[in-house]
C-alpha cells in the first residue's frame, strides 16, 4: 500500500502519499508486542487523529478536482481515487488491529468494552437507569420533514441516523430522524464491578444510546439505525489584506469551521444502503467518501478509556526528565549565561528549566523588558500567567501572538485578549505570514548597561507537549545573536525592513536561499575532491527546490543522511538520482520534533538549529528562525545525541526505499542482533524512572 505510486509524475514522491506512509509507521506501534497494551491502543487513536487532520487540511483539493472531473494543479480524479483507496486500506488495518488484536488482549487483562448483547440483566438495568438519568435529558431527536430539514452536523461530531416505521403524532410517515450526541458527554463510562469478577467493564456512549434508541421515539418502531460522523474541510481561509481586524475575522471564521465542506462520512459497518445513501446525498458525497467501520466511528476518543484505567503495567513506565546538565538548581540564569550558552535537550531534560528562566526574569527587578513569540502554549499556560505577572510588576512586555496557529486559533485569541487586558503590547506579526519562530528575549539593566538574554527553540512554549516531543532549547547571552533577536522583534512589531543580521537567519528572507547555498557548496566541495557531508534532522521535507538541490549534491558525491519523521518527497538511493542519499524515519515513544542541520565542506563544519522544516510554507510563507551553534562542545553534543544516535537506531527507525516504501531498520539486521533505540538510550542517560 505504501509502495508504488501510480499518480507520481516526477522522480519525487507524492506528499500526501508520504503522509499516509507515515501513519502506517505510527500504526506499527499498535502492533508491537513489546509496547504496553494501553499504549498500543493510544497509537491507534493517534492514527485516527492524524487522519482527521489529513482530511480537514489535505483532501479538499483532491475531492474538488474529482467532482469537477478535471485537473486542478496536481489534483485530479485519479489522485483522489488513489488517495481514497489508500486511506480505506489504512482504516481497514486500524479496525482489524482494534477488533482482532487489542480488544481480545484487553479482555485477557480484565478490561472489556461490553456490548448490549453481552450484558447480564443487572448490567442492563444499570445501563437503562444511567441512560434515563444522565444521557436521555441531553438528547434531542429531530424528525425530518419540510419544517425540520436535515440539521447542521458539526465536524467530527457523533450522531445517529434512525429509520422509523409507523406514523408520528400528526399522522405523518416521516421516517428519518437524527440524534446528535452532545460533545459534553464522555465517550466511555465505567460500569459497576460484577461481584466475584476482577474484570473492569466499560460501556461506550454509542452502545449506550443504541440500546435505548426506541425510548426516544415512543409509539414508533426503530427499523434501522447507524452511528455516523462527518469530517469537514477545516483550514481557515482569511484574506488578511482585506480584513481590518484579523482577530475579529478569525473569531467569525472559527464559528464557521465546524460546518465546512464535507469530505468523509463514517458509518457503522452494518449501516443499510438506504441510510448510507441518504447520508451521502445530504453531504454531497459519493461512495468513495464512505467509510464503514466495525467499532466506534471515532477511535480518537479511545484516549478517554485509556486514561480511566490505572494499571501501571499497561502503560509506559513513568519517565521523569532530568534537570539540564548545564544548569544547577538555585543558580541565577543570568550569572550562568555570562559563562556561555546552555543547551536543553527536551524531554530528556526538563522544560521546567525554561519556565524557571522566565520566572526569574519576571521576578528580577533589574529586568526591564520581556519579548516573546506565542504559537502553541496549551489550554492552560503558566507561561501566560508569568507574562501577565511581568506586566503587573511594571515590565515592558511584548507578545507576538500567532492567531493563525492551526486548531489553536481560539486559544491564542483568548491569550491575546488576556494579555492586552493587563497592558501588554500584543502584535500579530506580518500580514500574510505565520510567525512560527520560537523566541524569548529578556532585557536587563546591569552595571555595564543594558544586556540581553534569550531563549530560542525548535519547539513550542507548551509544557504538555514538552514532555512528549523531542526539541532543543537554547539559552544564550551572546551579544550578536541577542541583537539579531531584538531586530526580529522590532521587525515583527513595526514591519520595518530588517537590517543585516549577525548570526541568525530568518524566513522568508534568508533561510531558503541560505540552505540552498549550503547544499550547493557541499556539492561543489565534493566535485573538487574535498570531503563533503550533509546530515539533516527535521519533521518533513516537501520543498521541491531543496529536494532537487539535495539530489544534485548527491550526484556530485556528497554523502547525505536525512532523518525525517514524517513526509519526505525525496526518494533514497535511486540510481543516477539519489545514490548517496539515505532517508530514515524514527517513530518512537516520543514524537521527534527537533530540527538540526549539519554541513561539512572540506575543513569547515557548521551546525544550525531551527524552528523550520524544509517545507515550502516554512521557507516562504512563515517567519522562521535558524541559528548557528558555534560552541564546539555543544556542537559535538548535538551531533552525538541528535544525529549519530538516530543514524544508528535499529529499533525505532524505518528506512526509505527508492519506490517510496519504508522498511524497519531492524528487519535488515542479522537475527539475534540486539536492536538499539536512540530514544531509550537518551532517556536512560538523562532521566530517572519512578
| Residue 337 near residue 328 (C-beta atoms within 8 A) | no
Residue 315, C-alpha cell as written in the block: 502503560
Q: Using DSSP, state whether 385 is helix, strand or coil.
A: helix
Number of Cβ within a 10 Å radius of residue 258: 14
| Residue 561 near residue 534 (C-beta atoms within 8 A) | yes
Residue 16, C-alpha cell as written in the block: 500526501
Separation CA 660–CA 531 (nearest Å): 29
Per-residue CA distances from 539 to 22, 42, 114, 598 (Å): 11, 21, 39, 15
Q: Provide the CB-side half-sphere exposure for 190 (13 A, CA).
A: 13
Q: Looking at the DSSP assignment, which residues form a beta bridge with residue 476?
A: 454
| Residue 326 near residue 343 (C-beta atoms within 8 A) | yes
Separation CA 355–CA 358 (nearest Å): 5
Which DSSP state fits 99?
I
Q: Cα 460 to chain center, whole Å? A: 12
Distance between terminal CA atoms of the chain?
41
Residue 420's Cβ-count burial label (10 Å; 0-12, 13-18, 19+) is middle
491 belongs to the catalytic site: no
| Residue 620 near residue 512 (C-beta atoms within 8 A) | yes
Q: Using DSSP, state whether 591 is helix, strand or coil.
A: strand
Which residues have C-beta within 8 Å of that of residue 672, sequence separation ≥ 6? none
Burial 184-206 (b: 16+ CB within 10 A, else e): eeebbbebeeeeeeeebbbbbbb
Which residues have C-beta within 8 Å of that of residue 494, sequence separation ≥ 6? none
Per-residue CA distances from 170 to 214, 218, 219, 296, 639 (Å): 19, 14, 12, 35, 76
| Residue 597 near residue 549 (C-beta atoms within 8 A) | no
| Residue 267 near residue 287 (C-beta atoms within 8 A) | no
Per-residue CA distances from 356 to 332, 383, 579, 636 (Å): 10, 10, 47, 26
Residue 245's Cβ-count burial label (10 Å; 0-12, 13-18, 19+) is exposed
Separation CA 59–CA 530 (nearest Å): 45
- Determine phi and psi for 159, rounding to 5 degrees: -140, 165
Quote the Cα angle for 521-522-526, to 5°.
Answer: 115
Catalytic residue among 436, 491, 512, 593: 436
Q: Using DSSP, state whether 265 is helix, strand or coil.
A: strand
| Residue 322 near residue 686 (C-beta atoms within 8 A) | yes
Residue 50, C-alpha cell as written in the block: 492524524
Separation CA 90–CA 54 (nearest Å): 13
Q: Are strands 622-628 and 604-610 parallel, antiparallel or unpaired?
A: antiparallel
Residue linked to cell 544547577: 328
Number of Cβ within a 10 Å radius of residue 156: 21
Which DSSP state fits 342?
E
Residue linked to cell 544564550: 476
Separation CA 522–CA 543 (nearest Å): 19
Q: Give catalytic residue positions.
A: 436
Amino acid at each position: 500500500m505504501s509502495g508504488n505510486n501510480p499518480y507520481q509524475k516526477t522522480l519525487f514522491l507524492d506528499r500526501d502519499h508520504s503522509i499516509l506512509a507515515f501513519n502506517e509507521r505510527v500504526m506499527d506501534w499498535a502492533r508491537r508486542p513489546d509496547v504496553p497494551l494501553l499504549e498500543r491502543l493510544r497509537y491507534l487513536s493517534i492514527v485516527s487523529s492524524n487522519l482527521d487532520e489529513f482530511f480537514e487540511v489535505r483532501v479538499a483539493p483532491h475531492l474538488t478536482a474529482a467532482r469537477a472531473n478535471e485537473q486542478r494543479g496536481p489534483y485530479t480524479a485519479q489522485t483522489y481515487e488513489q488517495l481514497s483507496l489508500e486511506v480505506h486500506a489504512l482504516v481497514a488495518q486500524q479496525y482489524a488491529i482494534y477488533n482482532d488484536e487489542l480488544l481480545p488482549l484487553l479482555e485477557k487483562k480484565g478490561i472489556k468494552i461490553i456490548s448490549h448483547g453481552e450484558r447480564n440483566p443487572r448490567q442492563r438495568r444499570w445501563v437503562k437507569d444511567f441512560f434515563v438519568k444522565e444521557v436521555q435529558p441531553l438528547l434531542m431527536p429531530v424528525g425530518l420533514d419540510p419544517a425540520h430539514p436535515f440539521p447542521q452536523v458539526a465536524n467530527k461530531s457523533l450522531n445517529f441516523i434512525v429509520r422509523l416505521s409507523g406514523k408520528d403524532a400528526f399522522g405523518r410517515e416521516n421516517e428519518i430522524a437524527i440524534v446528535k450526541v452532545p460533545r459534553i458527554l464522555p465517550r466511555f463510562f465505567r460500569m459497576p464491578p460484577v461481584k466475584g469478577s476482577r474484570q473492569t467493564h466499560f460501556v461506550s456512549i454509542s452502545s449506550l444510546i443504541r440500546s435505548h434508541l426506541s425510548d426516544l421515539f415512543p409509539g414508533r418502531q426503530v427499523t434501522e439505525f447507524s452511528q455516523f460522523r462527518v469530517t469537514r474541510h477545516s483550514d481557515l481561509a482569511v484574506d488578511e489584506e482585506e480584513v481590518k481586524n484579523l482577530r475579529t475575522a478569525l473569531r467569525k471564521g472559527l464559528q464557521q469551521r465546524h460546518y465546512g465542506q464535507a469530505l468523509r462520512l463514517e458509518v457503522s459497518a452494518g449501516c443499510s444502503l438506504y441510510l448510507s445513501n441518504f447520508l451521502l446525498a445530504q453531504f454531497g458525497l459519493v461512495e468513495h467518501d464512505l467509510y464503514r467501520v466495525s467499532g466506534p466511528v471515532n477511535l480518537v476518543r479511545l484516549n478517554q478509556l485509556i486514561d480511566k484505567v490505572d494499571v501501571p503495567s499497561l502503560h509506559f513506565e513513568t519517565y521523569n526528565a532530568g534537570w539540564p546538565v548545564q544548569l544547577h538548581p538555585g543558580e541565577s540564569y543570568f550569572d550562568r549565561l555570562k559563562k556561555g550558552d546552555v543547551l536543553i535537550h527536551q524531554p530528556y531534560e526538563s522544560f521546567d528549566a525554561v519556565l524557571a528562566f522566565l520566572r526569574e526574569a519576571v521576578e528580577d527587578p533589574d529586568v526591564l523588558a520581556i519579548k516573546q513569540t506565542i504559537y502553541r502554549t496549551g489550554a492552560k499556560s503558566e507561561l501566560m500567567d508569568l507574562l501577565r505577572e511581568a506586566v503587573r510588576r511594571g515590565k515592558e512586555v511584548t507578545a507576538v501572538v500567532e492567531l493563525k496557529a492551526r486548531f489553536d486559533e481560539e486559544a491564542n485569541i483568548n491569550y491575546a485578549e488576556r494579555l492586552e487586558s493587563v497592558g501588554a503590547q500584543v502584535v500579530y506579526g506580518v500580514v500574510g505570514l505565520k510567525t512560527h519562530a520560537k523566541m524569548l528575549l529578556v532585557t536587563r539593566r546591569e552595571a555595564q548597561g543594558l544586556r540581553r538574554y534569550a531563549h530560542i527553540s525548535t519547539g513550542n512554549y507548551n509544557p504538555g507537549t514538552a514532555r512528549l516531543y523531542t526539541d532543543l532549547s537554547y539559552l544564550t547571552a551572546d551579544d550578536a545573536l541577542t541583537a539579531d533577536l531584538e531586530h526580529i522583534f522590532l521587525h515583527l512589531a513595526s514591519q520595518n525592513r530588517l537590517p543585516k543580521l549577525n548570526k541568525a537567519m530568518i524566513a522568508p528572507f534568508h533561510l531558503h536561499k541560505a540552505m540552498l547555498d549550503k547544499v550547493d557548496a557541499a556539492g561543489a566541495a565534493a566535485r573538487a575532491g574535498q570531503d563533503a557531508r550533509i546530515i539533516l534532522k527535521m519533521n518533513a521535507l516537501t520543498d521541491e527546490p531543496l529536494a532537487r538541490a539535495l539530489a544534485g549534491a548527491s550526484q556530485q558525491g556528497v554523502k547525505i543522511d536525512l532523518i525525517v519523521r514524517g513526509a519526505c518527497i525525496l526518494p533514497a538511493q535511486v540510481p543516477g538520482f539519489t545514490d548517496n542519499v539515505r532517508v530514515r524515519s524514527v517513530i518512537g515513544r516520543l514524537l521527534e520534533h527537533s530540527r538540526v542541520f549539519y554541513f561539512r565542506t572540506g575543513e569547515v563544519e557548521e551546525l544550525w538549529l531551527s524552528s523550520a522544516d524544509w517545507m515550502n510554507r516554512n521557507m516562504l510563507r512563515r517567519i522562521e528562525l535558524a541559528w548557528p551553534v558555534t560552541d564546539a562542545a555543544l556542537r559535538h553534543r548535538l551531533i552525538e545525541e541528535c544525529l549519530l544516535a538516530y543514524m544508528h537506531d535499529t529499533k525505532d527507525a524505518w528506512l526509505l526505499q527508492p519506490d517510496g516504501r519504508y522498511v524497519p531498520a531492524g528487519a535488515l539486521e542479522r537475527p539475534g542482533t540486539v536492536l538499539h533505540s536512540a530514544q531509550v538510550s537518551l532517556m536512560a542517560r538523562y532521566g530517572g524512572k519512578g
